[in-house]
Structure 1
Amino acid sequence: MERVLRIRQHTRRGERAPHKPLLLLLALARFQQDGGRPIPFSAAEQPLRRLLDEFGPPRSTSPAYPFHHLTNDDAIWVVDTMDGPGSPGPVLGRLRTPGVQGRFHPELAEALTADPSLVAQLARALLEANFEPSLHDDICQEIGLELDGIGLPARTERLLPPRDPAFRLQVLEAYEFCCAFCGYEGWLNGTAVGLDAAHLQWRSYGGPDSMGNGLCLCSLHHRLLDRGVLGMARDHTIAVSRKFVGRTPSAVTQVKDLSGRPVREPQSGLPTPEPDHVDWHTAQVFRSPARAAA
Structure 2
Amino acid sequence: MTPDELLDALIRLRKAAVGGRRVPHKPLLLLWLCGRYSTTGSSAVTYAEAEEQVSRLINDFGPPVVSAAAQRQRAAMPFVHLERTLWDLKDGEGHPIGPDAPERGKWLRDRGAHGQLHPEVELLLSDPGTLISAVRLLLDQHFTPSLEALICSGAGLDLAGLEESAHPVVPPKPKRPRRSGFAEEVLRAYAFACAMCGYDGALARNPVGLEAAHVRWHSQDGPDDVSNALALCALHHALFDLGVLGLTADLRIRVSGLYVARNKAGLAIDALAGHPLAAPRPGKPPVDLTFVTWHDRQVFKDS
Residue 8, structure 1, aligned to residue 23, structure 2: no
Shift in Å at residue 2 of structure 1? 1.5
| Count of residues in correspondence between the two structures | 284
- Show the counterpart of 2:4: none
Residue 109, structure 1, aligned to residue 134, structure 2: no
TM-score normalised by length of structure 2 = 0.89
Question: Which among 61, 82, 97 is matched to residue 55 of structure 1?
Answer: 61
Residue 77, structure 1, aligned to residue 87, structure 2: yes
- Show the counterpart of 1:46: 52
Q: Deviations over 1:163-208 (max 9, x none)?
A: 1131100100000100000000111132111000001111111111
Residue 225, structure 1, aligned to residue 225, structure 2: no
Stretches of structure 2 lacking an aligned partner (at least 5 in a row): 1-6
RMSD: 1.7
- Show the counterpart of 1:292: none
Question: Which among 136, 152, 172 is matched to residue 156 of structure 1?
Answer: 172
Shift in Å at residue 136 of structure 1? 0.6
Contact 2:51–2:105 under 8 Å retained in 1: no
TM-score normalised by length of structure 1 = 0.91
Residue 261, structure 1, aligned to residue 268, structure 2: no
- Show the counterpart of 1:130: 142
Shift in Å at residue 238 of structure 1? 0.6
- Show the counterpart of 1:145: 157
Shift in Å at residue 93 of structure 1? 1.9
Shift in Å at residue 280 of structure 1? 0.3
Q: Distance in 1 between matches of 2:270 and 2:167?
A: 37
Contact 2:129–2:169 under 8 Å retained in 1: no
Distance of aligned partners of 1:85 and 1:185 in 2 relative to their CA distance in 1, 3 Å threshold: farther
Contact 2:130–2:170 under 8 Å retained in 1: no
Contact 2:218–2:224 under 8 Å retained in 1: yes
Task: Calculate percent identity across the aligned residue pairs.
Answer: 38
Q: Distance in 1 between matches of 2:254 and 2:169?
A: 39
SS in 2 for 1:122: helix
Letter in 1 for 2:143: F
Question: Which among 211, 216, 220 is matched to residue 231 of structure 2?
Answer: 216
SS in 2 for 1:258: coil
Q: Distance in 2 between matches of 1:204 and 1:244?
A: 26
Contact 2:34–2:43 under 8 Å retained in 1: no
SS in 1 for 2:275: coil
Shift in Å at residue 58 of structure 1? 0.9
Distance of aligned partners of 1:12 and 1:100 in 2 relative to their CA distance in 1, 3 Å threshold: closer
Displaced runs of 4+ in structure 1, greater than 4 A? 150-155
Letter in 1 for 2:89: V
Shift in Å at residue 156 of structure 1? 2.1
Q: Distance in 2 between matches of 1:183 and 1:111?
A: 48
Q: Deviations over 1:18-67 (max 9, x none)?
A: 00000000000000011114111111010011111111111245211100
Distance of aligned partners of 1:112 and 1:153 in 2 relative to their CA distance in 1, 3 Å threshold: closer
SS in 1 for 2:110: coil
- Show the counterpart of 1:251: 266
- Show the counterpart of 1:86: 96
SS in 2 for 1:196: strand
Shift in Å at residue 106 of structure 1? 2.5
SS in 1 for 2:138: helix
SS in 1 for 2:271: helix
